[in-house]
Structure 1
Amino acid sequence: MPETEATEAWEYSLSIPHDPRAVTVCRRTLRLILTMHGLIRLADTAELLAAELISNAVLHTKGPAILRVRWSAGVLRIGAWDADPEPPDPTRELPLLDDTEHGRGLALVRACADLWGWQPLARNGSRGKYVWCDLVAA
């Protein structure tokens, strides 16, 4: 499929169980979505960001999570909802230069995304939070 610029807005949501394998499912699903919409050039960075957001949801909460991907006006928003209403804590993140394998998720999101944030959110009767980041298509 030839790459064309996506012009119409769209949105996908993927409900995932509390399972570390969900991170791989999210990455692959996101790559497929971006390929089908002609946005493959964003796939590598988008996959990294989605993996970090979903990893945090799976590692730091006890319930299910939802990956949400939205394209609108040249901006790709990637978000993760989880059932823990506590805000993300960027202060517990480790520096990017540290050799440890964990604890750098939000630092990577801050470094790679054009904008990021979080908000408390209720979904299907459950309280939680929505952590999101934006990639602006250049």
Structure 2
Amino acid sequence: MNVRPCPASCQEWELPFLAEPERVAPLRRAVRLNLTRWGLPALIDAAQLCLTELVTNVITHVGVKTPTWVAISLKGTHLRIEVRDPDIGTLPKPLRAAATEENGRGLSLVAAVADRWGVSPHDYGKTTWCELATGFTEPAARVGDPRDMRAEALLTLYGSRPLPLPAPRTSRLSRATAEEAAIGLIVDLLHWLSAHGGDPDTALDYAQVQLEAGLGGVS
């Protein structure tokens, strides 16, 4: 794998869900979209396999509809995949499955594919995690474009307080102004992604997935 800098657009991604078999396919799609956006297409298959096995382990051994969280992030030079659940009674471990058995190989597959994996118990449950080598080195330098700096500032503020939204009874002109400002923000953010190695089309696709999940409610 060629060593290259991590694009500055890399972000941590996290999603709560109920552990059900039908959730696996949307999660795999989200992994593909994130890793494509982060410039890690070579890791998609391995990351999807690991996430599938970790989530399936929760479904099988903790129970269907268990409140679960998945988090994917870059930790140094590795991609880290975490699946958290509230059960601390039994810590998962690889099983020796017979050649004729269909189940029991999940964590063994994770151990074979990932560079390292483990289980971290905590007060509110446990986190089963694995890490895949990316070949990234240091983050890329920022681009001094005004649009890039505006988007950077907004991304920083976004984590601390929400942006003001127009009240339901504001004038049509005020709402049109707010809508124009929101569109301008989207354009700046897409420029920021592009400037740091991201794909705006993939970002829009991923944003649509997140929007649909939010409108439908994450159950």
Task: State TM-score, norm by structure 1.
Answer: 0.83
**What letter corresponds to residue 96 of structure 2 in structure 1?**
L
**What letter corresponds to residue 132 of structure 2 in structure 1?**
L
C-alpha distance after superposition, 1:58-96 (max 9, x if no partner): 221132111110113221000100121121132xx134x
Rg larger in structure: 2
Partner of 1:57: 58
Gaps of 5+ in 2: 136-219
**What letter corresponds to residue 89 of structure 1 in structure 2?**
K
CA RMSD of aligned residues (A): 1.8
Partner of 1:38: 39
Partner of 2:96: 94
| Higher helix content, 1 or 2 | 2
C-alpha distance after superposition, 1:98-137 (max 9, x if no partner): 2322110110011110011111124xxxx21100000011
Is contact 1:109-1:116 (8 Å) kept? yes
SS of residue paired to 1:30: helix
Q: Between the two proteins, what is the percent identity of the paired residues?
A: 36
Is contact 1:58-1:65 (8 Å) kept? no
Partner of 2:130: 133
Is contact 2:7-2:39 (8 Å) kept? no
**What letter corresponds to residue 46 of structure 2 in structure 1?**
T
Partner of 2:6: 6
Q: How does 1:59-138 map to 2 (within 5 A)?
A: 59-62=60-63, 63-85=66-88, 86-90=90-94, 93-95=95-97, 98-122=99-123, 127-138=124-135
Task: State TM-score, norm by structure 2.
Answer: 0.54
Gaps of 5+ in 1: none
CA distance in 1, matches of 2:122, 2:67: 14
Q: How does 1:18-29 map to 2 (within 5 A)?
A: 18-29=19-30
Is contact 2:72-2:82 (8 Å) kept? yes
Is contact 1:81-1:130 (8 Å) kept? yes
